[in-house]
Protein backbone atom coordinates (compact mmCIF):
# COMPACT_ATOMS: atom_id res chain seq x y z
CA UNK A 1 0.00 0.00 0.00
CA UNK A 2 2.71 2.41 1.04
CA UNK A 3 4.62 1.56 -2.12
CA UNK A 4 1.63 2.47 -4.28
CA UNK A 5 1.35 5.89 -2.73
CA UNK A 6 5.04 6.54 -3.34
CA UNK A 7 4.79 5.45 -6.98
CA UNK A 8 1.68 7.62 -7.46
CA UNK A 9 3.60 10.56 -6.08
CA UNK A 10 6.48 10.01 -8.47
CA UNK A 11 4.19 9.78 -11.52
CA UNK A 12 2.37 12.95 -10.54
CA UNK A 13 5.61 14.77 -9.96
CA UNK A 14 6.93 13.62 -13.34
CA UNK A 15 3.77 14.84 -15.11
CA UNK A 16 4.18 18.26 -13.56
CA UNK A 17 7.88 18.40 -14.36
CA UNK A 18 7.09 17.58 -17.94
CA UNK A 19 4.58 20.42 -18.05
CA UNK A 20 7.28 22.83 -17.12
CA UNK A 21 9.77 21.47 -19.65
CA UNK A 22 7.16 21.53 -22.38
CA UNK A 23 6.49 25.22 -21.87
CA UNK A 24 8.35 26.60 -24.86
CA UNK A 25 7.25 23.75 -27.07
CA UNK A 26 3.56 24.22 -26.27
CA UNK A 27 3.70 27.92 -27.03
CA UNK A 28 4.48 26.88 -30.60
CA UNK A 29 1.66 24.33 -30.59
CA UNK A 30 -0.95 25.30 -28.02
CA UNK A 31 -3.44 22.67 -29.17
CA UNK A 32 -2.10 19.86 -27.03
CA UNK A 33 -2.29 21.95 -23.87
CA UNK A 34 -5.08 21.16 -21.41
CA UNK A 35 -7.78 23.62 -20.46
CA UNK A 36 -6.40 23.72 -16.92
CA UNK A 37 -2.83 24.39 -18.08
CA UNK A 38 -4.02 27.23 -20.33
CA UNK A 39 -5.87 28.78 -17.41
CA UNK A 40 -2.68 28.56 -15.31
CA UNK A 41 -0.67 30.40 -17.96
CA UNK A 42 -3.31 33.08 -18.27
CA UNK A 43 -3.33 33.54 -14.48
CA UNK A 44 0.45 33.69 -14.41
CA UNK A 45 0.65 36.41 -17.08
CA UNK A 46 -2.11 38.54 -15.58
CA UNK A 47 -0.58 38.36 -12.13
CA UNK A 48 2.85 39.14 -13.50
CA UNK A 49 1.47 42.35 -14.99
CA UNK A 50 -0.05 43.37 -11.69
CA UNK A 51 3.19 42.58 -9.91
CA UNK A 52 5.05 44.92 -12.28
CA UNK A 53 2.55 47.69 -11.57
CA UNK A 54 2.98 47.19 -7.83
CA UNK A 55 6.78 47.32 -8.18
CA UNK A 56 6.54 50.51 -10.25
CA UNK A 57 4.27 52.06 -7.64
CA UNK A 58 1.38 52.36 -10.10
CA UNK A 59 -2.20 52.55 -8.93
CA UNK A 60 -3.80 49.10 -8.92
CA UNK A 61 -7.11 50.15 -7.35
CA UNK A 62 -9.02 49.39 -10.56
CA UNK A 63 -7.47 45.96 -11.19
CA UNK A 64 -10.02 43.13 -11.31
CA UNK A 65 -9.28 39.46 -11.86
CA UNK A 66 -11.75 37.05 -13.34
CA UNK A 67 -10.75 33.42 -13.81
CA UNK A 68 -12.63 30.18 -14.33
CA UNK A 69 -12.70 27.92 -11.28
CA UNK A 70 -9.62 25.69 -11.44
CA UNK A 71 -11.44 22.49 -10.47
CA UNK A 72 -13.96 22.84 -13.31
CA UNK A 73 -11.22 22.74 -15.97
CA UNK A 74 -10.05 19.62 -17.78
CA UNK A 75 -6.50 18.73 -16.69
CA UNK A 76 -3.70 17.05 -18.62
CA UNK A 77 -3.97 14.06 -16.34
CA UNK A 78 -6.92 12.91 -14.25
CA UNK A 79 -4.61 12.31 -11.32
CA UNK A 80 -4.75 16.06 -10.70
CA UNK A 81 -8.43 15.73 -9.86
CA UNK A 82 -7.80 14.20 -6.50
CA UNK A 83 -8.95 14.96 -3.04
CA UNK A 84 -7.70 18.33 -1.96
CA UNK A 85 -8.04 20.00 -5.35
CA UNK A 86 -11.52 21.41 -4.73
CA UNK A 87 -10.82 22.91 -1.28
CA UNK A 88 -7.53 24.43 -2.52
CA UNK A 89 -9.18 25.71 -5.68
CA UNK A 90 -11.94 27.26 -3.55
CA UNK A 91 -9.43 28.87 -1.18
CA UNK A 92 -7.65 30.29 -4.22
CA UNK A 93 -10.94 31.64 -5.65
CA UNK A 94 -11.62 33.30 -2.28
CA UNK A 95 -8.24 35.04 -2.39
CA UNK A 96 -9.10 36.37 -5.87
CA UNK A 97 -12.40 37.67 -4.55
CA UNK A 98 -10.66 39.40 -1.62
CA UNK A 99 -8.27 41.04 -4.08
CA UNK A 100 -11.15 42.23 -6.28
CA UNK A 101 -12.84 43.80 -3.25
CA UNK A 102 -9.63 45.49 -2.22
CA UNK A 103 -6.82 45.40 -4.79
CA UNK A 104 -3.67 45.74 -2.70
CA UNK A 105 -0.16 44.38 -2.56
CA UNK A 106 -1.12 42.37 0.53
CA UNK A 107 -4.08 40.73 -1.18
CA UNK A 108 -1.92 40.08 -4.23
CA UNK A 109 0.57 38.21 -2.07
CA UNK A 110 -2.22 36.15 -0.58
CA UNK A 111 -3.20 35.01 -4.11
CA UNK A 112 0.40 33.95 -4.78
CA UNK A 113 0.48 32.05 -1.46
CA UNK A 114 -2.54 30.09 -2.63
CA UNK A 115 -0.80 29.26 -5.92
CA UNK A 116 2.18 28.00 -3.94
CA UNK A 117 0.26 25.87 -1.46
CA UNK A 118 -1.69 24.00 -4.12
CA UNK A 119 1.45 23.49 -6.19
CA UNK A 120 3.48 22.32 -3.21
CA UNK A 121 0.94 19.56 -2.70
CA UNK A 122 -0.25 18.68 -6.20
CA UNK A 123 2.20 19.87 -8.80
CA UNK A 124 5.66 21.04 -7.68
CA UNK A 125 7.10 21.44 -11.21
CA UNK A 126 6.02 25.06 -11.84
CA UNK A 127 6.88 26.27 -8.29
CA UNK A 128 10.12 27.83 -9.43
CA UNK A 129 8.22 29.84 -12.01
CA UNK A 130 5.53 30.88 -9.53
CA UNK A 131 8.35 32.11 -7.27
CA UNK A 132 8.75 34.99 -9.76
CA UNK A 133 5.40 36.38 -8.63
CA UNK A 134 6.53 36.89 -5.04
CA UNK A 135 7.02 40.52 -4.11
CA UNK A 136 10.23 40.86 -2.13
CA UNK A 137 9.90 43.06 0.88
C1 LIG B 1 -6.00 24.28 -6.70
C2 LIG B 1 -4.66 23.94 -7.18
C3 LIG B 1 -3.88 24.96 -7.98
C4 LIG B 1 -3.79 26.32 -7.78
C5 LIG B 1 -4.47 27.18 -6.70
C6 LIG B 1 -2.91 26.81 -8.79
N7 LIG B 1 -2.47 25.80 -9.60
FE8 LIG B 1 -1.21 25.97 -11.21
N9 LIG B 1 -1.51 24.00 -11.65
C10 LIG B 1 -2.26 23.11 -10.90
C11 LIG B 1 -2.32 21.85 -11.61
C12 LIG B 1 -3.08 20.61 -11.14
C13 LIG B 1 -1.55 22.01 -12.80
C14 LIG B 1 -1.37 21.01 -13.94
C15 LIG B 1 -2.46 21.31 -14.95
C16 LIG B 1 -2.43 20.46 -16.18
O17 LIG B 1 -1.34 20.07 -16.61
O18 LIG B 1 -3.51 20.20 -16.73
C19 LIG B 1 -1.04 23.38 -12.77
C20 LIG B 1 -0.18 23.92 -13.74
C21 LIG B 1 0.42 25.17 -13.66
C22 LIG B 1 1.42 25.68 -14.57
C23 LIG B 1 2.00 24.94 -15.77
C24 LIG B 1 1.06 25.19 -16.93
C25 LIG B 1 1.61 24.70 -18.25
O26 LIG B 1 2.10 25.53 -19.01
O27 LIG B 1 1.55 23.49 -18.48
C28 LIG B 1 1.73 26.95 -14.16
C29 LIG B 1 2.73 27.92 -14.78
C30 LIG B 1 0.91 27.23 -13.00
N31 LIG B 1 0.13 26.13 -12.72
C32 LIG B 1 0.91 28.44 -12.34
C33 LIG B 1 -0.01 28.77 -11.33
C34 LIG B 1 -0.16 30.10 -10.79
C35 LIG B 1 0.64 31.33 -11.20
C36 LIG B 1 -1.15 30.02 -9.84
C37 LIG B 1 -1.75 31.13 -9.02
C38 LIG B 1 -2.17 32.30 -9.75
C39 LIG B 1 -1.59 28.63 -9.78
N40 LIG B 1 -0.87 27.91 -10.71
C41 LIG B 1 -2.56 28.16 -8.92
C42 LIG B 1 -2.88 23.37 -9.70
C43 LIG B 1 -3.04 24.64 -9.14
Alpha-helical segments (H) within the chain: 2-21, 23-28, 35-55, 85-101, 105-122, 127-130
Predicted local distance difference test score (pLDDT) of residue 17: 64
Ligand 1 and 47: CB distance under 6 A: yes
**CA distances in angstroms from 59 to 16, 52, 81, 132, 137, listed in the order given:** 35, 11, 37, 21, 18
Predicted local distance difference test score (pLDDT) of residue 12: 52
Question: Which residue ranges in the chain fall short of pLDDT 70?
Answer: 1-31, 137
Ligand 1 and 36: CB distance under 6 A: yes
CA 44 to centroid of ligand 1, rounded, Å: 9
pTM as predicted: 0.85
Predicted local distance difference test score (pLDDT) of residue 39: 97
Ligand 1 and 41: CB distance under 6 A: yes
CA 54 to centroid of ligand 1, rounded, Å: 23
Amino acid sequence: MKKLVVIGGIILFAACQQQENKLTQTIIDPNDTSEMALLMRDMFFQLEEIKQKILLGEDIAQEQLNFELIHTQTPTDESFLKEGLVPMSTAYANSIEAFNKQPSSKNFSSIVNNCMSCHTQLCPGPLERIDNLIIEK
